[in-house]
Structure 1
Amino acid sequence: MLNFYLDDGRRARAEAGAGIFGAVVGVVNAAGWEVRYHGQEADIAGEGYHLVYNRPTEGPFCFSLRRCYLEKYYRIEATNDRWDWEVAGLPFPGKPGQAWFQNYWAERLFRGLTIAQGGYIFMPLQGKLLQRRHFQTASPVEMIRATLAADPARRIVATLHPREVYSEAELEALRGIERFELVTGSLPWLAGCDYVVTQNSSLALTGFFAGKPAVLFARIDFHHIAASVHRLGVAGAFEAVQRVPPYADYLHWFFKKQALCEVGDDSAAQIAARLRAHGWPL
């Protein structure tokens, strides 16, 4: 039995056989499973297997369904923490991919924008600016200082996360930093930057579609072709960010080979294989 924890809108899509939710239900129904629906925030309880949507997992038979950055791409994982997803621990094989995937999404993501090098670093900030969390190598404010020291030639253009609430102490820590500017609107600044520095913002991955290299100060699932401070240290990461990674090959591998797509002739087979890989007896 599958216990599926969804809000009303996603439950309606699942029952209608639509999107990733309907695709998952179709796979388990085909295997003879019953599906029992619960509210998205309901307690994890009862027999069978449990699938939550973008919330922490609980227990050995509970798994997380979460969007994999792009529309229609998802992952089913034993944890909701992206930096501990299975793909994060896989080696990128570096095999030639298909450039059409990068080109197709670059056109969609950056439509109407000019992709260029404007002589600045783009830094999408996230939350808890004064705190170093367990998956980070430095706090966000420490990241700013380290970046300015590592690249004395460029200024930082930064954005605050639109869904975060920042304390006065956090905002005060940003005031008066030389070569540092807070701006609004992310994609135009991303399109025009020389490279990205962030903890693990998904905008770094978006930047790959525009050929923008990235320095990451935190662990994340898409670290493979980034200049990772966790792997290389600060000096090594800022040296590595000057090299050109194989964007097209990596993006094709990361999405088309490692993620689940809710559409396509092989979508059901992909989902079934992923569930079996997690030990689901389908």
Structure 2
Amino acid sequence: MLRTLLVDDEPLAIERLQFLLSDIASAEVVGTATNGREASEQIESLKPDLVFLDVQMPEQNGLRVASTLEGEDRPEIIFVTAFEHYAADAFEVEAADYLLKPVRFDRLWQAVERAKRRKYLRELAARDGEPDTTSEPLTQAKSPHEDGIWVQTRSGAIFVPTETIDWIEAQRDYVMLHTATRSHIVRMSMRSLEDSLDPMQLVRVHRSAFARPSNVVEVQRMGRSISALVMRDGAIIPVGPSYAHGVAQRLKLSE
């Protein structure tokens, strides 16, 4: 069970998160805050495992709050905001996820599961004295175009191996690479991705999404055609009509 703090300066946003989280057994809401100062105070006093944090708030924004959190007791952070352009900054402060309002339940469930997995890995690393595995290693591959994607950061770049990517979604001028423990944001087109990714690992399922077939746990249909894929992490990925036949063949399903 993740002891969870909700931080947003909009009461309706907090109410919506509380309502959605009531159906997620692994998250227990233990407190709320409406600005950055209250958030820091509540984190200090409640010691939550997970914090849902708005970005734009009075008395210290969410990014600043997250950047001040250090040490073994640092909670997992999930940013929830209406603004897409803060995503790169959010992942710079090691956020577990970045959700855009209005929050979809499947993405919320996925974010909580990712936070739970990251917390477990950090505890395992601390207990065993092993390096933290919540981020992908900075691995040098022979051919990044075939084996993975370089993600630029302020301090350099991170190599994300293709084999660690569960699914990919387009976000306007960016794409989001979703792995088991975190997401990465990259400025590139879906066409460029399709040209560089191994189709045996990640399949184009929509004009704005790729998915790893081995991580699909359920298919949803509209009539006889596949309309969406439910992933192992809870994400629901739409399947475009022009991609449905190819997806069915890749999953070895009859139409």
TM-score tier (shorter):
0.3 to 0.5
TM-score (norm 1): 0.31
TM-score (norm 2): 0.33
For CA contacts below 8 A with separation 6 or more, give which structure has more relative contact order.
1
- Quick check: which one's strand share is greater? 2
